[in-house]
Amino acid sequence: MTTFRDWIRSFGSFCVQLIHSAWGSIRAWSPRRWSLIIALALAGVALFIWLDIPDLSQMRAAAARLGAWFPVAFTLGYVIFTQFPLPRTIWTIAAGILFGPWRGLAISLFALTISAVLSLLIVRSLLGDWIRPHLAHPAVYTINAHLERRGWLAIASLRMVAGVPFSLLNYVAALTPISVSHFTVATLFGSIPTTVIGVFFGDALTGTASPGIIAAFIVFALAGIGGLVLDSRLPTPVQSRLSGRL
């Protein structure tokens, strides 16, 4: 109990340190940077308010117009949409309806992997230099050492649990020392179960897929939770090479 309380105090100190550092960095921004940030924020709000998510009939009309180029356009839309903290489910289900189970699965996995890596790189390019010095804080050092050496298992397991937001996990992972290669592979393979469910559910709406989607959802969610439990029980080396990884 004492150890846990000590960690809570240490983590509170870490949070205060982060807030103080963030405030100091923000106050040091130049007018040009402030203008850029405000412009991007306003553009994001405008995009969120006025951009309509295309419905299925619009996607089918686009498929008829674009022909062989439609999978490319669909992939780009998937990647752009999932940069924001919005559910990717509509795109995954639409892939099953528009392309069928196997082609839809391939397109969805390719698009979501590209999207996740892109989010990781963007967040790291914006915040990596700021967050890196804080990763050696005692409250998070062991956690980051764990993520550096075996973060792929945690990421893959969390991807298997449908309730974990796709975009938010990308943002959080970007602030840890997990390597891009481990993150990419873990995202690709960890996302297969929930993507299969979404795509095959979409295909089921056309009346061609087999039943059992709900059962599969439960099985894969339990597998993801099991992976997290396994990850928590495996020994973690204390020493870590944190520098230069972000």
Q: For every one of its 246 residues, what pLDDT tens digit does the chain have, with 9 covering 90 and above?
A: 556 677 677 777 877 877 888 777 777 778 887 888 788 788 777 766 776 666 667 777 877 888 889 899 999 989 988 888 778 888 888 888 888 888 999 999 999 999 999 999 988 888 877 777 777 777 666 667 766 777 788 888 888 877 778 888 898 888 888 889 999 999 998 898 888 888 877 777 665 555 555 566 566 666 666 666 666 566 655 444 444 555
Looking at residue 180, its pLDDT comes to 93
Is there a single domain that holds both residue 36 and residue 155? no
Which residue, among 190, 214, 189, 202, has the nearest Cα to 102 in the 3D structure? 202
The answer to the question of residue 114 being in a domain is yes
Is there a single domain that holds both residue 45 and residue 132? no
Rg (C-alpha) for the chain, rounded Å, is: 21
Q: How many CB atoms lie within 10 A of CB 199?
A: 28
Look up residue 241 and give its DSSP letter.
Answer: -
Is there a single domain that holds both residue 90 and residue 115? yes
- The SS3 call for residue 28 is coil
Which residue, among 197, 212, 215, 206, has the nearest Cα to 100 in the 3D structure? 206
Is there a single domain that holds both residue 73 and residue 109? yes
Looking at residue 79, its pLDDT comes to 94
For the chain, count helices (H), then strands (E).
11, 0
Is there a single domain that holds both residue 19 and residue 64? no
Which residue, among 1, 5, 14, has the nearest Cα to 139 in the 3D structure? 14
Which residue, among 155, 153, 94, 90, has the nearest Cα to 119 in the 3D structure? 155
Looking at residue 172, its pLDDT comes to 84
What's the number of domains the chain is made of? 2
**By residue range, what is the domain housing residue 1?**
1-51
Is there a single domain that holds both residue 64 and residue 127? yes
The answer to the question of residue 239 being in a domain is no
- The pair of structure tokens assigned to 161 is 């649990």
Is there a single domain that holds both residue 97 and residue 164? yes
Is there a single domain that holds both residue 117 and residue 63? yes
Cα-Cα-Cα-Cα dihedral of 49, 90, 72, 62, to 10°?
-70
The answer to the question of residue 246 being in a domain is no
Rounded CA-CA distance 210/201 in Å is 9
